[in-house]
Structure 1
Amino acid sequence: MYLGGVTAWGAWLGRGARGGEEYFLGRRDLPWLVVLLSVVATETSTLTFLSIPGIAYGGSLAFLQIAAGYMLGRIAVAAWLLPAYHAGRLRTAYELLEARFGPETRRFTSAIFMVTRLLADSVRLFATAIPLTLVTGWPLITSVLVIGALTFIYTFIGGIRAVVWVDASQMVLYLAGGLIALVVLGQAAPDGWPDILARAAEAGKLTAIDTSLDFGRPYTLWAGLLGGAFLSMGSHGADQLIVQRLLACRDLAASRRALVGSGIAVFLQFFLFLFVGLGLWAWYDGAAFARSDEIFARFIVEALPAGVRGLLIACVFAAAMSTLSSSINALSSTTAYDFWGRTRAGAGNRADAAADERRILRVGKIAAAVWTVLLVAAAIGFIPLSEGNAAVEVALGIASLVYGGLLGGFALARFSRRATSGSARLGIAVGIASVTCVWVFARAAVAWPWFVLIGAAVTVAVGLLGGRRRAPDARY
């Protein structure tokens, strides 16, 4: 019932879009608070609801150090990238790179975004299918297909307006689910939460700050503040998934409020679900699970009364659908604007702007269907690879492989007069390749939160060294 209701409401919200900008940017008049909630729902969703409790279950509260770095990264994006996006009234993040380096660089970075989103969000879709499988007894493949199909319907019909408003409502729902879980877990302990926290303290699970200089440990103060900041700059400054929402705000000030405010909300959200993980650790007495993402889902299905169980299962689906719908819409927008639309513009077919917007809309909807099929297929492909991996770490690790290259490309576009189109693309490619090599050959020595910083540094260095002439002034 919940899935059907959300699908119908989302389709109704965005009905009647007549052009590409209305469909993908909501006429640029969306309220900043709704965009804030949508940003948080998009970037965390299922990963927060299912995976973050699993991290605290097997570890401690040290993940909060990453969230602190996220706040610093957002402030940097608000200061040096959002003004450029709004000044140029851009439709995708990668238009900024075209203004500085030409259309080849725009298409190159847009293609990188597409591959990254496909891989990372297929992991999110897989993680969401776990509780549906536990509830219904369906195979994981069937659960993936059902969630993908229903999310596609309202995303296809409603566009960004439907996506943002549904995201905002779903975020409120799954935060309520987390609070309910805290209450239930506290009531189950002999002396409530004081008992849980006392046991967790004895086991060292309340540690929130780790000042270790070991680069192989993902959750240290330095990896959190530096690595988390660069990861957030990449995800919120160079990824169309988030930038698209910020472009849909009414003005620069509204975009900044939405972006910086989302950092505070994400920190509090991580805090909530890490404590859920501590409660689950006490409930199961630290028992081992094949998948850490399964722990909270199994608790919901097996331990909660029917009414509460139904609400929390709805929360899981709310979390999943928010990210999946956002991904479909962002992928289709880059396909329509950065590839098809850019080609049409180059061919001189922009005399009739209204007709062109209608064409963009049609192409975007076709692209939405294609990307949904690819996301579902990739999620099914992840099933045999999922043993022993937390989906949040897998998804963030995949994104971190390329965010450094993208972020370095944007840094060259904004601040370098020496880099050229060719040197920027070479820098991005080498930056991504270098991080991939670290991930393959030195994963034990260098943890994933450092990937974006490494990739960005390599990209900027190669881009500057490869520049051989003074580049023209940037337009933005």
Structure 2
Amino acid sequence: MQLYDWIILSATLLFIVGYGVIKTKGSKNVNEYILGNNETPWWTVGLSVMATQASAITFLSTPGQAYHDGMGFVQFYFGLPLAMVVICITFIPIFHKLKVFTAYEFLEQRFDVKTRTVASVIFLIQRGLGTGLTIYAPAIILSSLLGWNLNLMNLLIGVMVIIYTVSGGTKAVNVTHKQQMFVIMTGMAFAFFTILHYLPDDLTFSNALHIAGANKKLEILNFSFDPEERYTIWSGIAGGFFLMLAYFGTDQSQVQRYLSGKSIRESQMGLIMNGLLKVPMQFFILLIGVMVFVFFQFHSAPLHFNPNNTKIINTSVYKADYEKLEGQLKNIEAEKEEISLLYVHQLGQDYDNRELHNKLIALNSREKDLRDQAKDLIKAVDKNAETNDKDYVFLYFILNFLPQGLIGLLLAVIFSAAMSSSASGLNALASTTTIDIYKRHVKGEKSDKHFVDMTKRFTFMWGVVAILFACFGTLFENLIQLVNIIGSIFYGTVLGVFLVAFYIKYIRAKAMFWSAVITQTLVIGIYIQFVYRNEILSYLWLNVIGAALTIVIGLLLQKVFGKDKTALEAVV
């Protein structure tokens, strides 16, 4: 990194933190601190919702996901627009009508305090873990870039987020999201056009897509019914729908964004904006990863993208074996560049040579085999080493091929995304802890200022917890999948509770409480046995399973328990 990169990176981050503190300091009551006095316009709601979901993990991992596996990951988001419609019709009107601070307040009015508490605790567990990961992801960048201690990076990033989130609450989160989304989309657009600029002069965008397609990177739709297939159109529409419905409808980090809207209509418009723009945004980010793949058909790429693992292997007895693999890779890359240029030339003459097409596929298959052999060597040195290097692909491209100044901007993109999602997470964790746990169980009358102060303290506390979790976090598959796996384990149960609350008046409090407890236990067991150990089920189906089990077990338990006198009338 050059001086210009450091100036751009530092100035961007300091502006965001300073703007958030100065613009929103001094909240006087709980409504202002948690809901921003319900003054947020629809377009800010939409941007804030998008920024909350678009963490650094999105921009760090998604291009690497596309580089290795192609565009199929976009199917994960196919259920999102439909989920936005359901939330706009059902969730938002009820939440606004009841004037709740958190989604879980509604559950006490529909069921009882126990059901409200168990849903809140499930949220706190999974969002606490998720927020730790959003801090951990960008920390990888600086630790790899500068050789600084990873835990120190976690601390610095966490402290920046804590400063303005504690100071301004929801208003600070919302106003900084606007600047962060501007930085994010500007930086990603620059990255995309820079990649195109660096491709060979006679390689058009259309021909670049031909090369990507020849290597099966553009296979968007997978109609397979195999439950082991992680991303299919069916798991995306069904599992993705339930995950998005749970995330946007019951996760306080998102609910709090649209509860701060000026009106029901403004909140609905914000969510519809997210539904219309989110899938194209993810498609664009994946396309950047595919273009990085095409770029490396004409430029050298490392045998393994994670520099930490490279250091391990170069100081081991397997160094010579690793260097031999690197030599073989260089030969493949030289041949691949030659074949790719010939293929492009013939495409320019409207002639698709199947022989060259097959040679490209064969060369990339050999390259993949070499990379797998390198991972085996790394595992031989350190069996605990994480050999999945998807999260480092885009980072490697940024640091080694982007021009001066643009490196700083792209790093600012990743840090802005990390700060946006982390701030929303801390804000929601603190609000839920204060409103659903502390306020509901504290003894005696307390002033409004007392609860504002407690929310600030809980924000700080959860910030510390997230930093500590980030310090102990490790890569699993890749970061964006890990976050979604954690969400899928917990979201289905909470979603099932809300679906019963909205639509099935027959089920009462006692049955619902025990259904939630039993279901969450079963889902964790299903994940361990069928997803983690044996990999015979896509984690996306856990959302469907969790929601369905909650409803079915609730219906059965209601028959066992009979009428529950403690249950309140449904408010729907």
TM-score normalised by structure 2 residue count: 0.79
Please tell me whether residue 227 in structure 1 is matched to residue 227 in structure 2: no
Which of 418, 422, 429 aligns to 2:506? It is: 418
What letter matches 2:519 in structure 1?
G
**Partner Cα distance (1:396, 1:461) in 2:** 24
**Partner Cα distance (1:438, 1:298) in 2:** 37
Match of 2:22 in 1: 12
What letter matches 1:449 in structure 2?
L
Please tell me whether residue 469 in structure 1 is matched to residue 479 in structure 2: no
Which of 342, 356, 379 aligns to 2:470? It is: 379
Please tell me whether residue 100 in structure 1 is matched to residue 100 in structure 2: no
Paired residues in the alignment total: 466
Between 189-198 and 240-249, report the one with greater CA deviation: 189-198
Which residues of 2 match residues 42-441 of structure 1 at below 5 A?
42-190=52-200, 191-285=203-297, 288-289=304-305, 290=387, 291-344=389-442, 347=443, 349=445, 356-382=447-473, 385-386=474-475, 389-441=477-529
**Partner Cα distance (1:142, 1:472) in 2:** 50
**Partner Cα distance (1:376, 1:224) in 2:** 32
**Partner Cα distance (2:525, 2:515) in 1:** 15
1:343-365 C-alpha deviation (Å, 9 max, x unpaired): 24xx452xxxxx62211101001
**Partner Cα distance (1:305, 1:72) in 2:** 41
**Partner Cα distance (1:284, 1:112) in 2:** 43
Local SS of the residue matching 2:168: helix
**Partner Cα distance (1:179, 1:189) in 2:** 16
How far residue 214 of structure 1 moved from its aligned partner, in angstroms, is 0.9
Local SS of the residue matching 1:442: helix
**Partner Cα distance (2:173, 2:222) in 1:** 38
What letter matches 2:211 in structure 1?
R
Between 282-291 and 265-274, report the one with greater CA deviation: 282-291
CA contact (8 A) 2:184 2:416 kept: yes
How far residue 375 of structure 1 moved from its aligned partner, in angstroms, is 0.1
How far residue 288 of structure 1 moved from its aligned partner, in angstroms, is 4.6
Match of 2:541 in 1: 450
Local SS of the residue matching 1:267: helix
**Partner Cα distance (1:142, 1:284) in 2:** 33
Between 248-257 and 297-306, report the one with greater CA deviation: 297-306
CA contact (8 A) 1:196 1:278 kept: no
How far residue 418 of structure 1 moved from its aligned partner, in angstroms, is 2.4
Local SS of the residue matching 1:389: coil
How far residue 195 of structure 1 moved from its aligned partner, in angstroms, is 3.7
Q: Structure 1 vs Structure 2: percent identity of aligned residues?
A: 31
**Partner Cα distance (2:228, 2:283) in 1:** 23
**Partner Cα distance (1:137, 1:194) in 2:** 39
**Partner Cα distance (2:444, 2:526) in 1:** 44
CA contact (8 A) 2:111 2:568 kept: no
Local SS of the residue matching 1:41: helix
What letter matches 2:494 in structure 1?
L
How far residue 192 of structure 1 moved from its aligned partner, in angstroms, is 4.4
1:80-129 C-alpha deviation (Å, 9 max, x unpaired): 21111011011000011000111121111111111101112212211111
Local SS of the residue matching 2:221: coil
How far residue 450 of structure 1 moved from its aligned partner, in angstroms, is 1.0
**Partner Cα distance (1:62, 1:435) in 2:** 26
CA contact (8 A) 1:129 1:143 kept: yes
CA contact (8 A) 1:134 1:301 kept: no
Between 32-41 and 101-110, report the one with greater CA deviation: 101-110
**Partner Cα distance (1:452, 1:91) in 2:** 25
**Partner Cα distance (2:253, 2:149) in 1:** 29
Local SS of the residue matching 1:10: helix
**Partner Cα distance (2:205, 2:135) in 1:** 32
1:231-289 C-alpha deviation (Å, 9 max, x unpaired): 11000111101001111001111111111211222111101110111112123347553
CA contact (8 A) 1:189 1:195 kept: no
**Partner Cα distance (2:416, 2:461) in 1:** 23
**Partner Cα distance (1:134, 1:284) in 2:** 21
Q: Which runs of 5+ in 1 are unaligned?
A: 350-354
1:39-91 C-alpha deviation (Å, 9 max, x unpaired): 10111221221111111111121122221211111111111211110110110
How far residue 442 of structure 1 moved from its aligned partner, in angstroms, is 0.7
CA contact (8 A) 1:121 1:323 kept: yes
CA contact (8 A) 1:418 1:469 kept: no
Local SS of the residue matching 1:158: helix
Between 185-194 and 260-269, report the one with greater CA deviation: 185-194
Q: Which runs of 5+ in 2 are unaligned?
A: 1-9, 306-386
How far residue 306 of structure 1 moved from its aligned partner, in angstroms, is 1.8
**Partner Cα distance (2:185, 2:163) in 1:** 25
CA contact (8 A) 1:134 1:298 kept: no
CA contact (8 A) 2:109 2:568 kept: no
Local SS of the residue matching 2:390: coil
How far residue 217 of structure 1 moved from its aligned partner, in angstroms, is 1.2
Match of 2:329 in 1: none
